[in-house]
């Protein structure tokens, strides 16, 4: 869309200042001194969904004070601990007029765990990590309730009698489960099973023609009916709009289920394009819902469906639909009034994804020392050189001994110099004169030394392409859109396409 980093930051600041610092007709964040809560302004209550969304937005935008205040409220008023019936879970609802529903809503648990892990890693806070690990443990080891069905490994609608035998596909967050399976200190095998089961369930939940999802469904993906007579649960109504954001996020963060996620994206984008982005609520097969025929396409849908476009960015046939969906999300104005809470926060989360500001905040790496002889990553070194490098998802302080001066080390510490997929963080060749810029179709590197190596990654470190500089102005054709890191010599450049 041609937006600069300045444009993007201005947009995100607008959303933050509106929903977190605005007046009583705009904000959903309410500061209470040492605590703060996110209010569902339509229902005058506090929900685990909104609290965990607020924490995720805060950690991604680097607002630690607001994050801590939200977590203080959640810990003091919502979180069950110390061996009680719901040990590890959160009350899904705190009524501001008094009273609470102590049972959980699993989307809250999912976002709480992920936000705490990101906060622990971003801000190097061991207490956040301890709290996250406590919740992760209790999702499997609470003495009575399990967050996931232990036969299917699919998240339950609620781990209570009568509600644990069906699901809500908008709780399917495979990207989060990937990280839980890697970072949880216990039950990693179980978390890994949920990754596969969740991707399968999300795909089965997408209608074969419309691509729509239903608010609640069975473990085989078919709609689950009879739960709510006022808002039919076997329809695409409220919860279900998040599914497009969930699989879009999984696509661009992990790319582990690309074929099916591309299929889901094409179907749901085609459906809403055909509807001219006019209506909000549908039967699973695309018919309008009785009594909701005039409900307009919402801001939350604009954001969530735009995230789904990640899966078709490289498909020229979808260029028009991609631009339309991105424009709808970008141009959407922050909501005011009573119904600003849900769609406003879903849209805010979507904008973090779309602008490259939703990041996997990883644990601080342990640096290992390694030594190789003469050549590394295709480069020949004529003098001893030390720099940092990634290899096999590990960070090394790497010493390359010159060819004339063999390394004094055993073979167990050597790195295979033929591994050309390694990402060098700091190269030995300084290229202070290099300039990196982009157009709609390419990235350009100017004034870099011919023969030196460059690497293009996404913001999560996933390598998109790497090669050698072959001319004074190196063109790198790239159809992908978004934010990228271009590493040239000992410098890293961020570019937007």
Residues making up the chain, counted from first to last: 497
- Give the E-state strand segments of 200-243 in sequence order: 235-236
Asked if residue 341 lies in contact with residue 42, where contact means CB atoms within 8 angstroms, the answer is yes
Q: Which residues contact residue 103 at a Cβ distance below 8 angstroms, ignoring those fewer than 6 apart?
A: 86, 89, 91, 92, 158, 160
Provide the token pair at 240.
């279900």
Please provide the DSSP assignment of 15-46 as one string: HHHHHHHS-TTT--EEE-SS-EEEEETTTTEE
Integer Cα distance of 65 and 79 in angstroms = 20
Other Cβ atoms less than 10 A from the Cβ of 320: the count is 10
Integer Cα distance of 283 and 194 in angstroms = 28
Q: DSSP state, 298? A: P
Q: How far is CA 40 from CA 102, 331, 343, 486, in A?
A: 17, 24, 11, 41
Asked if residue 333 lies in contact with residue 26, where contact means CB atoms within 8 angstroms, the answer is no
Is the backbone of residue 328 left (phi > 0), alpha (psi -120 to 50) or beta? alpha
Question: Looking at the annotation, which residues are catalytic?
Answer: 49, 239
Q: Which residues contact residue 357 at a Cβ distance below 8 angstroms, ignoring those fewer than 6 apart?
A: 8, 12, 60, 61, 351
Integer Cα distance of 103 and 75 in angstroms = 15
């Amino acid at each position: 869309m041609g937006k600069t980093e300045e444009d993007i930051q201005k947009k995100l600041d607008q959303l933050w200042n509106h929903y977190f610092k605005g007046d009583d007709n705009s904000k959903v964040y309410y500061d209470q001194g040492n605590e703060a809560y996110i209010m569902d302004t339509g229902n005058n209550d506090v929900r685990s969904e909104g609290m965990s969304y607020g924490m995720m937005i805060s950690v991604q935008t680097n607002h630690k004070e607001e994050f801590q205040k939200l977590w203080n409220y959640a810990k003091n008023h919502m979180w069950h601990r110390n061996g009680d019936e719901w040990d590890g879970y959160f009350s899904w609802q705190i009524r501001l007029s008094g009273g609470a529903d102590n049972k959980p809503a699993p989307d809250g648990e999912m976002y709480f765990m992920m936000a705490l892990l990101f906060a622990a890693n971003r801000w190097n806070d061991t207490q956040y990590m301890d709290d996250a690990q406590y919740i992760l443990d209790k999702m499997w080891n609470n003495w009575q309730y399990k967050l996931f069905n232990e036969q299917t490994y699919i998240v339950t609608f609620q781990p209570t009698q009568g509600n644990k035998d069906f699901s809500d596909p908008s709780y399917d967050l495979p990207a989060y489960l990937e990280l839980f399976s890697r970072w949880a200190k216990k039950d990693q095998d179980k978390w890994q099973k949920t990754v596969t089961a969740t991707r399968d369930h999300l795909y089965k939940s997408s209608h074969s023609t419309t691509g729509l999802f239903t608010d609640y469904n069975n473990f085989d993906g078919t709609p689950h009916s009879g739960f709510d007579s006022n808002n039919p649960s076997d329809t695409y109504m409220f919860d279900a709009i998040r599914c497009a954001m969930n699989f879009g996020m999984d696509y661009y963060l992990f790319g582990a289920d690309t074929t099916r996620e591309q299929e889901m994206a094409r179907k749901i984008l085609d459906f809403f394009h055909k509807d001219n982005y006019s209506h909000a609520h549908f039967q699973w097969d695309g018919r309008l819902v009785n009594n909701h025929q005039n409900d307009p396409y919402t801001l939350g849908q604009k954001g969530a469906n735009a995230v789904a476009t990640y899966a078709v960015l490289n498909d020229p046939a979808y260029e028009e639909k991609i631009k339309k969906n991105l424009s709808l999300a970008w141009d959407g104005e922050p909501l005011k009034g009573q119904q600003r809470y849900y769609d406003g926060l879903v849209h805010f989360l979507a904008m973090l994804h779309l602008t490259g500001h939703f990041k996997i905040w990883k644990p601080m790496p342990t640096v290992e020392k390694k030594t190789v002889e003469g050549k590394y990553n295709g480069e020949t070194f004529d003098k001893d050189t030390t720099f940092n490098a990634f290899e096999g998802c590990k960070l090394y302080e790497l010493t390359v001994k010159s060819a004339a001066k063999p390394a004094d080390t055993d073979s167990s510490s050597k790195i295979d110099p033929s591994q050309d997929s390694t990402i060098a963080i700091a190269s030995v060749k300084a290229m202070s004169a290099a300039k990196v810029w982009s157009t709609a179709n390419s990235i350009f590197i100017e004034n870099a030394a011919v023969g030196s190596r460059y690497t293009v990654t996404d913001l999560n470190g996933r390598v998109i392409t790497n090669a050698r500089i072959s001319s004074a102005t190196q063109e790198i054709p790239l159809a992908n859109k978004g934010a990228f890191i271009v590493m040239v010599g000992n410098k890293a450049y961020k570019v937007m396409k």
